[in-house]
Amino acid sequence: MAEDNHPQQQKWNRRYAEAGQPNQAAQVLLENRHLLPSQGTALELAAGLGGNALLLARHGLRTQAWDLSDVAMSKLQRFADAEQLPLQAHCVDLEQQPLPEAAFDLICVSAFLDRTLCASISTALKPGGLLFYQTFTQAKVRPGGPSNPDFLLKPGELLQLFSQLQPLVYREESDCGELDQGLRNQAYLIARRS
């Protein structure tokens, strides 16, 4: 359990206190459901209200959701329990809590970037396990997302951060073509641990 002493925890708790519904799952999952394993264990990191974790649990994966916000984790646990889903939500500070090695068949992260975690995310996958990762890029064509460059991907950076994994799907459209269509401001990667 995370202590109530992380500088970001109160900010996120205030935001989630106002939210009544889970967020929608990320496009990396919605557009690639056919790649999901039919059974096993999943982990969503920095899950917030857990739209991704709920999708994974509804798919039949035994799912954990970890996030700093105890408010979000309480709400997510209630959403999951109402549907009797195999989902456990835990209040965890990812800066303090090491990831277990070779523990998950799937890890999902969206709208969150802490580059120091990437190596341990890779090794937290079981051999053959899949990473689904989607977050914001520096190349913005519309307003929205963080402005702090620490939280924005450089071109192609997801591929570099997870270069020890085998990429299966990578999508980054940057400022190419018709800007009112496609996946803008974000990139996504699906990759497998060999």
Give the binding site for ligand SAM (CB under 6 A). 6, 8, 12, 23, 26, 46-48, 67-69, 72, 92-95, 110-112
How many residues can be counted in the chain? 194
Q: Which is closer to ligand SAM, CB of 76 or CB of 178?
A: 76
Which residues are paired to 110 by β-bridges? 134
Q: Between 24 and 39, name the residue whose CB sits nearer to ligand SAM.
A: 24
CB of 127 to ligand SAM, least distance (A): 26
- Taking residue 105's Cβ as centre, other Cβ atoms within 10 Å add up to 20
> Residue 4 or 39: which CB sits closer to ligand SAM?
4
Provide, rounded to whole angstroms, the least separation between the CB of residue 94 and ligand SAM: 4
d(CA 21, CA 157) in angstroms, rounded, equals 32
Q: Which CB atom, from 41 or from 134, has the smaller least distance to ligand SAM?
A: 134
> 89 or 92: whose CB is closer to ligand SAM?
92
- The nearer residue to ligand SAM, 95 or 128, going by C-beta atoms, is 95
**Which residue's Cβ has the minimum distance to ligand SAM?**
48
Output the smallest distance, CB 152 to ligand SAM, in A: 12
Smallest distance, ligand SAM to C-beta of residue 89, A: 11
Q: What tokens does 108 get? A: 């999902």
- As a three-state string, the secondary structure of the chain is CCCCCCCCHHHHHHHHHCCCCCCCCCHHHHCCHHHCCCCCEEEEECCCCCHHHHHHHHCCCEEEEEECCHHHHHHHHHHHHHCCCCEEEEECCCCCCCCCCCCEEEEEEECCCCHHHHHHHHHHEEEEEEEEEEEEECCCCCCCCCCCHHHCECCCHHHHHCCCCEEEEEEECCCCCCCCCCCCCEEEEEEECC
